[in-house]
Amino acid sequence: MGILPGMDTDTAERIHVLWDELADFDAARLDDALNHLMTGLCQLVDAQNANWIGAVRMPDLIPGDPSHGWRPSIIRYLRPSRSLDEKTLEQVKKMDLGSIDETTIRNIALAGKFRANRLADLVPESWFDGDYYRIYYSSVDHKDAIWVGIPLNEDAECYFAIFRDNAHSRFTPEERDLAAYALRGLKWFYSRQMLGHGLMVASSPLTATEREVLGGLLTGLSEKQIAAERSQSPHTTHEYVSNIYRKFGVRNRPALMALWLGKAA
């Protein structure tokens, strides 16, 4: 991938180093890898917080659903807080009722395409004087955001939001394009993140404990070793392993690893 026009070599090198660092995280450290990426993004464009959303398109939704079935299944903030959690939960509940903001509508309309937008790219200036911006942005110290959408297949996408706080100016188009460049070539990483939560191919999302056991399986630990690390009985660990295989539709560890390497549907 060529660098952006106008990008200096030091910035390009920082991004390329970040990509290499992500490849060095093993499967048991997916959360650490995600936090590392979000930290790098914030440093790149002078932002103060970021989040990652794993979204799937669901069947049997409400009539006239403005989200066209898309729902966030996993939401992770780099720097979570109680107020952010509360506001995020409010928005998810409204989405389930068919009430979504113009920024979300515009993002969903572009599903299936890689896209990067500032808030000002999605909505008119008058939107910044409205209740949604006041409640869900400025009240939690978010002045602006860059939203990046990444399609993984026709029913799964992930999003990154990068936030500036109220003490800073809004993002520039150049900063938006820089964030897009940093995120554009990492589909392998996003697929791992989605798989790590049981999204895309699993019959249902993994529980927190199942994710930890999955990490042990993917890093070569035996069931006895996983049980010892988690202070579980081997029988309990085996039940978790069986649940993981069932959710992913595989019968053994080699088939699970094949999924992770992108060699099985």
Percent composition of the chain: helix, strand, coil (DSSP 3-state, to 5): 50, 15, 30
Q: How far apart are CA 146 and CA 148, in angstroms?
A: 7
Domain boundaries 208-260, corresponding CATH code: 1.10.10.10
> Which of 13, 56, 38, 34 has its CA nearest to residue 198?
56
pLDDT value for 64: 84
pLDDT value for 264: 47
Mean pLDDT value across residues 67-94: 93
Higher pLDDT, residue 108 or 219? 108
Q: Phi/psi class of residue 7: alpha, beta or left (left: φ > 0; alpha: ψ in -120 to 50)?
A: beta
Q: How far is CA 61 from CA 1, 3, 90, 91, 101, in A?
A: 39, 42, 19, 17, 18
| 152's tokens | 């993984």
Mean pLDDT value across residues 144-153: 95
Average pLDDT value for the chain: 91
pLDDT value for 57: 85
Mean pLDDT value across residues 148-161: 93
Residue 262's pLDDT band (cuts 50, 70, 90)? low
Query: What is the domain partition of the chain in residue ranges?
Result: 9-196, 208-260
Where do the H-state alpha helices sit in the chain? 9-23, 30-45, 82-96, 102-109, 119-122, 131-136, 173-184, 187-196, 208-218, 223-230, 234-248, 253-260
pLDDT digits (tens, 9 = 90+) for 10-64: 999 999 999 999 999 987 788 999 999 999 999 999 999 999 999 988 875 678 8
Instruction: Answer yes or no: CATH 3.30.450.80 is held by domain 9-196.
Output: yes
pLDDT value for 93: 92
Residue 265's pLDDT band (cuts 50, 70, 90)? very low
